[in-house]
Amino acid sequence: MANPLPASPLSHLVLLALTALDGVFPMIPSEVAALAAGVLAHTGTLSLPLVICATALGVFAGDHLAYGLSRSVLGPRLIGRSRHVSRAVAAASRRLDRHAGPLIVTSRFLPGGRIAMNAASGMTRLPLAQFSPASAVAALAWSTYIAGLGYLGGAVFVEHPLLGLAAGLGVSFAVGAGFELVRRRAGRRRVEQRRHPALAAAVAALAVMAVPAAAVAKPADADRRELQEQLNAIVSAGAVGALARLRDERGEWQGVSGVAERGTTRRVSAESRFRAGSITKTFTATVTLQLAGEGRLRVDDAVESWLPGVVPNGQRITVRHLLNHTGGLYDYLRTLPLPPSPWFLDNRWRTWSSAELSARALANPPTFEPPGSSFAYSNTGYLLLGQIIEKASGRSYRQEVERRIIQPLRLRGTSMPGSSPSIPGPHPHGYVPIDRDGVRDLVDYTLMNPTVMGAGGEIISTTADLNRFFAALLGGELLPSNLLREMKTPGLEGGRYGLGLAWWHDTTCGIRLYGHDGDALAYQSWSFSTEDGHRQVTVALTPNFAGDPEDAVGALLDRAFCD
């Protein structure tokens, strides 16, 4: 066997060049490129094409076929022409996710793993702000693994091709499993830190002590006191009670203000659950885009192709129009009595179907034409998206949100209540204003049938869970980069709403915040994050309708993100 050392500098260059293909074409396994480079380094030529082809087939089938075809940039375009093929491949990918997840070497090993892989091969396409210590570890481990596999695997292939194939796949799977175990362990550690705030506080305190005093603009506790003052100002502006949670580089802060129930002194719990209203739309949109990534539907499918005869002019209105509110559909909420009308309470316990509510809206003319020419926020579009999710997946949108988001992210305080009127766990009471005989009164509306809000507003959650959800979404855990990029693209030029994701850039420091707000009548909420996920804030309140607390909420967000 030839001495590989003289060829090693060239092999390393070839190795990096070939490995970079994995960042450009997700369906090309970088292990195959590494092994090819290794053989080239040892023999001076690719004289074993059959061996390389066998390796490619083995790694491609075992590591990339079902997962890569359904998740990659190229896959949906290649197989999406046939819905039957799309569904078959998507089913295979789900099985692979469930049963062989640790073996998928090229899916994000650690937070920022895909970024690290691209960095190791010189293909970094994301800001340096995305990097973290975990990313650095992943980059080092990935580059070492690729170099070792190419160098040693190439030597083995020259003498024993079949042994080399087995060894290459074995090492590939072992490394993937190891990274997966580390990732899960890190996830459990983060959960434990959240469960033991004293420990987290101690870690944060040590981190602060390590920073030179000159670098600290003002004491951390003073900053947190100002946030508490801002939260108190929200209650003074028009709320019965309020709670907020901030996550930044110094850890987590949570605050409460006001009371959980009128006429009592019971404090709001920091772990309270609340109806998050239209924040549900981001969950529904995420599931819709996941189905698009699997080839089960296309974002530019006509609504008519999924719901024949349901939507007038449905052949011109697309799934994208529903997601970004540019379809011109009349909002069904405008067909129902709303507070302060006393007739509003007549529907309190009624179970509504999505088809029934959307039919009320679609009996009205569109708010504008043609579709895509303007923006008008419409809850009707998300009712229709719920129906499309059911058609595309074979499950209700509630089941899909739970299966795809709530369970994998371990959002313990988040639920899709369906027709259940109660809010499980600790929660503040919510109220609505009702006029009776010329007198306005606040009616406790905590218990109600949430089917009236459906796929656009029924979710119950907590401040911690919403922060976790948006961190995962913006961090690339829930969607591939191309679909996340589309989610952050406004429906109209200069707009502030993408595919189920809104942004807030009225901060004094000019930072754009991504997230959503929610209005469930008796509960109002806001959950926003910086694009890099380093700072997040979720605020929830129960309004008393004596004033408008939105400006005070804006002031708190500004303080949290710009101070």
SS3 content of the chain, % helix, strand, coil (to 5): 55, 10, 35
CB-CB contact of 303 with 318 (8 Å) = yes
The CA distance from 35 to 148, in Å, is 10
Find residue 318's DSSP bridge partners. 302
In the prediction, which pLDDT does 145 show? Answer: 53
Length of the chain: 563
In the prediction, which pLDDT does 91 show? Answer: 53
In the prediction, which pLDDT does 33 show? Answer: 54
For residue 293, what are its two tokens?
Answer: 């990534």
The pLDDT profile of the chain, 563 residues, written as one tens digit per residue, is: 444 434 445 544 454 454 444 433 333 445 555 555 555 555 555 444 544 454 444 444 434 333 333 333 333 344 444 455 545 545 554 444 443 333 333 333 333 333 334 333 333 333 333 344 444 454 455 555 555 555 555 555 555 555 555 555 555 555 545 544 554 455 444 434 443 444 344 333 333 333 333 333 345 577 788 999 999 999 999 999 999 999 988 889 999 999 999 999 999 999 999 999 999 999 999 999 999 999 999 999 999 999 999 999 999 999 999 999 999 999 999 999 999 999 999 999 999 999 999 999 999 999 999 999 999 999 999 999 999 999 999 999 999 999 999 999 999 999 999 999 999 999 999 999 999 988 999 999 999 999 999 999 999 999 999 999 999 999 999 999 999 999 999 999 989 999 999 998 778 888 899 999 999 999 999 999 999 888 999 999 999 999 999 999 999 999 999 87
Widest CA span in the chain: 98
Q: 112: which residues sit within 8 A by CB, 6+ positions away?
A: 130, 131, 132, 134, 135, 138
The CA distance from 35 to 49, in Å, is 12
Contacts 24+ apart (CB under 8 A), 407-412: 409/465, 409/468, 409/469, 409/472, 409/477, 410/191, 411/461, 411/465, 411/468, 411/469, 412/465
Tokens 């707009």 label which residue?
495
Helices (H), 371-425: 380-393, 397-401
Neighbours of 450 (CB within 10 A): 23
Q: Chain-centre distance of CA 250, in angstroms?
A: 23
In the prediction, which pLDDT does 249 show? Answer: 85
**Backbone φ/ψ region at 517: left (φ over 0), alpha (ψ -120 to 50), beta:** beta
Helical pair 280-293 and 380-393, crossing angle rounded to 10 deg: 40
CB-CB contact of 288 with 323 (8 Å) = yes
Catalytic annotation on 278?
yes
The CA distance from 454 to 448, in Å, is 13
Catalytic residue among 278, 354, 378, 393: 278
The CA distance from 428 to 241, in Å, is 7
The CA distance from 130 to 119, in Å, is 11
8-state DSSP, 403: I
Q: 220: which residues sit within 8 A by CB, 6+ positions away?
A: 208, 250
In the prediction, which pLDDT does 221 show? Answer: 73
